[in-house]
Amino acid sequence: MIAPTDQVKMYKLMVLIRRIEERVAESYGEGKIGGFTHLYIGQEAVAVGAISALNHDDYVIDTYRDHGHFLARGGDPRKFMAELFGKATGICQGKGGSMHLADAEHYFYGGTGIVGGSIPIAAGLGLACAYRGDDRIVMAFFGDGATNQGVWHEGLNFAELWNLPVIFLCENNFYGIGTGVNVSSSLSEVHKKANGYGMPGYLVNGMDVLEVRKTCEEVVKLVRGGSGPALIEARTYRYQGHSMTDPGRYRAKAEEDLWRKRDPIPRLAKHLRAQGICDDARLEEIEHEVEDVCEDAVQFALDSPDPAPEALYEGMFKERFAGDPHA
């Protein structure tokens, strides 16, 4: 049983991610955000359900669709928006951008723009846990596309071989950009790939935040207890295109409509009402609270300074030498 206060928190977090992503899309359209921007709209239940099952000092590592995980991990919406705006006050001082959010304070090791690239790194974080013998674990988020990369295989092989405490969490949204999982993966039921490594594989409904949370709690307990790594496949859907520049013409309207009917936010709202945890007034209030956070984040980003020109050569090395550029 998930405590009612936790359920409300999860609801609020999903609404925050949804609304802030809408603001991101708006700001992108206004030219305030550049480069690649991959929205998390539709997949909120996965990040929120899974991360809420972790301890504060567990390690989380991510792919490039990292907005939702950053916020679910407790990242500051102001620093998030400022990073996307390329401002000095961004979480990475404007040097990372949408795909490279990281947050040391929350043990969030960031988004990589290379599909599958984070998987061996996740195993390495797990190696550190095992090496020190502490009871931390690692959760690695990635998409279905990553499971066809060579390093994905290497990471899972290492993790099982060395019994590392890593949860590999695949958000199967059925598309790697515009190519379907059924035409890119020899086994499109991703959780079954776990069999190849001798680790347990789980399938969850990624549109149901309570189910994600429940399964993750169970798996977290096992992995923390020393059972070795696990693979979870959460089936979900991104409502938007792969990135801001993708109109998504490769998907059928009927398919999109079907998934929108499974939207995790109204689903949890219905549950909260039915359980008497929240009434309509409280749900409305949450919308307003979230709206204030989003407005504040955008305003903060707008008001923040650009990185100073001197920042260009800063932060590459911890120790600098006479021969370095602009040392």
Partner 1 sequence: MRELRVYEAIAEALAEEMRRDEAVFVMGEDVGLFGGTFRATEGLMAEFGSRRVRDTPIAEAGIVGLALGAALAGLRPVPELMTMNFAIVAMDQIINHVAKMTYMFGGQFDLPITIRAPGGGGTQKGAQHSHSIESWFVNAPGLRVVAPSTPADFKGLLKTSIRNDDPVLFVEHELLYSMKGPVPDEDEELLIPLGRAETRRAGGDITLVAWSRMVHESLKAAEQLAAEGIEAEVIDVRTLDPFDWDAVLGSVARTRRCVVAEEGWRTIGVGAEIGSRIHETLFYELDAPVQRVAAADVPTPYAKGLEQAALPDADDIVRAALKITT
Residues forming the site for partner 1 (CB under 8 A): 59, 61, 90-96, 100, 102-104, 109-110, 112-114, 117, 119-129, 131, 150-151, 154-155, 157-158, 161, 314-319, 321-325
Count CB neighbours of 311 within 10 A.
13
Task: Say if residue 180 is exposed, middle or buried (CB neighbours under 10 Å; 0-12, 13-18, 19+).
Answer: middle
H or E element: which one contains 281?
helix 280-303
Q: Which is nearer to partner 1, 119 or 219 (CB)?
A: 119
Q: Nearest distance from residue 198's CB to partner 1, in Å?
A: 14
Other Cβ atoms closer than 10 A to 321: 7
Pick the closer one to partner 1 by CB: 288 or 326: 326
Distance CA 66, CA 102 (A): 9
Of 28 and 158, the one with the shorter C-beta distance to partner 1 is 158
**Cα separation of 207 and 179, whole Å?**
21
Tell the burial category of 101 from Cβ atoms under 10 Å away from its Cβ (0-12, 13-18, 19+).
Answer: buried
Residue 220: count other Cβ atoms within 10 Å of its Cβ: 20
Exposure on the CB side of residue 64, measured as CA atoms within 13 A: 18
Q: In whole angstroms, what is the distance from residue 97 CA to residue 75 CA?
A: 14
Residue closer to partner 1 by CB (options 288, 321) is: 321
Q: What does the alpha-carbon distance between residue 7 and residue 277 come to, in Å, rounded to a whole number?
A: 9
Q: Which one-letter amino acid corresponds to residue 151?
A: V
Whether the Cβ atoms of residue 252 and residue 263 lie closer than 8 Å to each other: no
Residue 242 belongs to what H/E stretch? none
Shortest gap between Cβ of 165 and partner 1 (angstroms)? 12
Shortest separation between residue 28's beta carbon and partner 1, angstroms: 20
Which helix (H) or strand (E) segment holds residue 42: the answer is none
| Shortest separation between residue 250's beta carbon and partner 1, angstroms | 27
Least distance CB 260 / partner 1 (angstroms):
34
As measured in angstroms, the least distance from the Cβ of 24 to partner 1 is 19
- Please say which residue, 165 or 176, places its beta carbon nearer to partner 1: 165
Q: Compute the least distance from the CB of residue 322 to partner 1, in Å.
A: 6
Taking the least distance from each CB to partner 1, the nearer of 50 and 127 is 127
Given the complex with partner 1, which of 114 and 302 has the nearer CB atom? 114
